[in-house]
Amino acid sequence: MIEPQLVEQIERLLAKGKLSYRKIARFTGVSRGTIGAIASGRRRIQPRRICFWEEEPVVPDVPPQRCPDCGGMVYMPCRLCRTRKEMAKLPDIRALIRSNAFQPFTPIGLNLKPMHQQRYEEVRRWRREQQKGLGFGGQGSELKCEVRS
């Protein structure tokens, strides 16, 4: 893996536009293919991870301890418990999906012939009933399959 500082240096040299890929490769010690990847944007500096808390040392000076909340052997404070607390503050995605908050009322750009529109509405009504857990047997819940010529 290439150091981020080296990638930045290569990007600066490319931005100047005075040196060829070959000269930049010779100057930095990186292959021409990698220089080309950086120039085209296929290779970038890895972004920093998003974190709910400030970064801590990877290996603390103290030994691991048993977490009083989850019971795991961890370096205190327990990241799992902190992450669970932060995630509990976020809305429940499954509940939003079940409430059909993400599903549009009518599809965008759907322009069907009347015959196909009727069939589409039948299938959609049947799927909604399946999602609600009504199953088969309710009025209008059965799909009509007919052979059309």
**111 and 97, same structural domain?**
no
pLDDT grade, residue 59 (50/70/90)?
low
User: Is 87 domain-assigned?
Assistant: yes
Place of tokens 């209008």: 140
- Please give the residue that has the higher pLDDT: either 45 or 126: 126
Q: What is the per-residue pLDDT for 22?
A: 93
21 domain residue, yes or no: yes
Q: Are 9 and 36 in the same domain? A: yes
8/34 same-domain check: yes
* 84 and 113 share one domain: no
Indicate the residue type of 122. E
Q: Are both 12 and 35 inside the same structural domain?
A: yes
**135: in domain:** yes
d(CA 45, CA 58): 21
Nearest residue to 44 via CA among 77, 93, 6, 18: 6
Q: Is 55 a member of any domain? A: no
Residue 141 is predicted with a pLDDT of: 44
| pLDDT at site 137 | 47
Q: Which of 49-58, 69-78, 128-137 has the lowest mean pLDDT?
A: 49-58
Strands (E), the chain: 65-66, 73-74
| Same domain assignment for residues 68 and 92 | yes
What is the number of domains present in the chain?
3
The stretch 87-113 carries a mean pLDDT of 67
* pLDDT of the residue at 7: 86
**Looking at residue 138, what is its pLDDT?**
47
The structure's pTM equals 0.33
The reply to whether 123 falls in a domain is yes
| Position 97 in a domain | yes
Domain range for 92 is: 64-103
